[in-house]
Structures are given as structure tokens and as C-alpha cells.
Amino acid sequence: MSTEPSPQNVSFPSAGATAYGYLAVPPSGHGPGVIVIQEWWGLTSHIKDIADRFARAGFVALAPDLYGGQVAHDSDEALRMMSELPTDRGTELLSGAVGYLLERPETDGETVGAVGFCMGGGFVLSLAAKEQRVSAAVPFYGVIKDGMPDFSNLKAEILGNYGELDPSVPPESLEELRTTIESQSGIVPVFHVYPGAGHAFFNDDRPEAYHAESSTEAWERTLDFLRAQLTKAS
């Protein structure tokens, strides 16, 4: 029996169009579902590797392609591509991905988790605020680009991972986010701030940003959180 995940490129209907993504199925052939949401760079090899890592940990992981096949090669291009994707449109595409993942025969349970990085971390919160089929949300240094969503319909528990030295999401900004989520939904998010880590500390394709100790700790916390929440929700 293989000990490696089974990856494949997939397409599915979403937001009135055909969407694409990268699906990784665990060696067991089934498991709880997790949506993996890209950074502002696009659906890169790094994001696909994260989906594979989730699959090795027992999850059915789907990384939707929010840019329709485009990948940014520098920060100016990434900023342009992110700016051209309205939050409402991206959230609608992700909602379609949730439905597709739950319909897959490999996916266990009636809800999924969502994990996102940078731009994707902001989309994790927008998706969870809208989509009640998401029961666990994990933003990594999530950049909320169009203002905070309305959390009044939020059902997901939230675990956030942030870098102490991140100018994009300074730690002092988290108190406002925590207060907003709790006051609107009654859910108390748990935020972890990692000493010595900056923005994109989990991205091991970017040695100038990667912080190994924080990355390892955040990954272990994320896996424990998803297993606990998705098992409870199933």
C-alpha cells in the first residue's frame, strides 16, 4: 500500500463558471476535507506541497486556483493579481470548492476545514463567515484586503497563526479582529503569535521569510486543531 498521497488536477463548477484546483488524497483513500487557500502568488508549487502534506497527515486536501492558472513572478504582479480579485468573487469561488470537496467520495464528514496563507488567510475568514459548511478555519498571517467580513453567521472555530515581526498583520491589530469576531458571533478565536517570525514564515520556498521553528510549531497546532474540530463536527 502506498504511503504517498494521490494528487490530481481537478475541475468543478463554481460561481457560474468552471473552476480548477489541485486535489491530494491521503494514502488511506479517505479522510476529513480541508480547503487550502493560496497566497497572493497563486497556486504555486509551495501551496501544492502543503496540500500534499495535509494528505500525508490523513486529510483530503483541495487547493482551488483563484487566479485561473496564472502565477505571479514578483510582488508587483502579485499585488496586481490580488487587487483584481474582488473578495466577494473569491469567496464565491471558494464556496463552490467547499461543495465540490464535500461531494467527493473520499471526503468524510459534513463539514470541512479551511487553511489559508497571506491573501488566503484573509479569504479563510471571509469564507468561514459566509459558509457554514466550514467548521474549522486557520488563517496564517491573513491579510484582510477589503475590510472585515460580517461574522454574525460564523459557525467555525478559528485558530490563527501570526508572526511577531509581520508588518502586514501587526500583532496589535489582532485584538480588534478578536473582539469583532467574538462580539458578532460569540466564537472566541485563538491567535498564536510566533516570536522572531515575520510575514510568510511558513513558506519554505522563501528562505528570506521562512522561520523553521515557528513553522513546525504552527503546523503541529494546525493539524491538532483540524483533527479535533472536524472529528467533533462529523
User: Which residues make beta-bridge pairs with 138?
Assistant: 115
49 a catalytic residue: no
**What is the rounded distance in angstroms from the CA atom of residue 121 to the CA atom of residue 36?**
10
* Phi and psi based region of residue 147 (left: phi greater than 0; alpha: psi -120 to 50; beta: remaining): left
**What is the rounded distance in angstroms from the CA atom of residue 95 to the CA atom of residue 97?**
5
b/e map 25-40, b = 16+ CB within 10 Å: bbeeeebbbbbbbbbb
Residue type, 179: T
**Which of 73, 199, 211, 224 is flagged as catalytic?**
199
Note the pLDDT of residue 39. Answer: 97
88 a catalytic residue: no
**Which of 52, 76, 108, 166 is flagged as catalytic?**
166
Distances (CA, A) of 6 to 12, 118, 167, 181: 18, 26, 37, 36
pLDDT in tens, the chain (234 residues): 566 777 899 999 998 889 999 999 999 999 999 999 999 999 999 999 999 999 999 999 999 999 999 999 999 999 999 999 999 999 999 999 999 999 999 999 999 999 999 999 999 999 999 999 999 999 999 999 888 999 999 999 999 999 999 999 999 999 999 999 999 999 999 999 999 999 999 999 999 999 999 999 999 999 999 999 998 765
Neighbours of 102 (CB within 10 A): 16
73 a catalytic residue: no
